[in-house]
Amino acid sequence: MPLELVTLRCLRDNYAYLLHGPAGTVLIDAPEAMPILTEIEAQGWGLDAILLTHHHDDHIGAVAEIVAATGARVIGNAGDARRLPPLDIAAMPGEPLEVLGESVTVLDVSGHTIGHVAFHFPQSGMAFTADSLMAMGCGRLFEGDAAMMWESLSRLNALPAETLICSGHDYCAANGAFALSVDAGNTALQERLDAVAQSQQPCSPATLAEERATNPFLRVNELRDPLGMQGATDAEVFARLRKLKDEF
């Protein structure tokens, strides 16, 4: 039985995600307690675990309150445990992790922060990428460098095309505007932006195939010539795009 996914808007522009199945319910990131606890109560669910992607407060700030209300266990990257709330399960990228009866892959996607992880549920076809690969964008490089982030994005880009990419923020307007500025002839991008503008639904999740077609940070091969970077490596083109976005 596939897991049920609920996307929740939190704070000003964060997304949190609930996954529910026969084995229980888990939360991915904990930006704000009220909308999460309200949804859990409305659904009549408990909460078994909270999976944390990285240490920024807008992803972990509500952990203590939610744990106090639900008794959920906390799962995060063992390598960044000192900056996370107390972990009940310290996961390691590349090592097995079972969640809701599924074998989950913990991916190192450092760049936005060092120790940022993504959680890939291959059986359900979902990846929770937070502030690494985002809808039509990627996270700002606060701790890592461009080469590190490009390696992380490449790791995510190797997942199956139908994988749902569940990112951490609704930055669609800003990310879409930048994407158009460097990829103006991209009809798939314009169609996606039109659909987002007409819908009241969250712009995440989207399939990896859709991100490949519309996200400039996954389209370095298509943008190498327009940027005048013939002969540059993929990582160099990515670095240029990230710099342009920072200055946009």
The domain segmentation of the chain, as residue ranges, is 4-247
In sequence order, the β-bridge partners of residue 104 are 97
For residue 185, the model assigns a pLDDT of: 92
For residue 100, the model assigns a pLDDT of: 97
| pLDDT per residue as tens digits for the range 124-173 | 999 999 999 999 999 999 999 999 999 999 999 999 999 999 999 999 98
Low-confidence ranges of the chain (pLDDT < 50): none
Superfamily holding 4-247: Ribonuclease Z/Hydroxyacylglutathione hydrolase-like (3.60.15.10)
> Does a cis peptide bond (omega within 30 degrees of 0) precede residue 205?
yes
CA 90 to chain centre: 20
For residue 199, the model assigns a pLDDT of: 78
- Helix segments in 33-166, DSSP class H: 33-43, 57-60, 63-70, 146-157
CA distance 14 to 170: 6
Show Cβ contacts of residue 244 under 8 Å, excluding neighbours closer than 6 positions. 178, 181, 182
For residue 197, the model assigns a pLDDT of: 84
Q: Is residue 55 marked as binding?
A: no
Q: Is residue 120 marked as binding?
A: no
For residue 1, the model assigns a pLDDT of: 63
For residue 203, the model assigns a pLDDT of: 83
Q: Is residue 234 marked as binding?
A: no
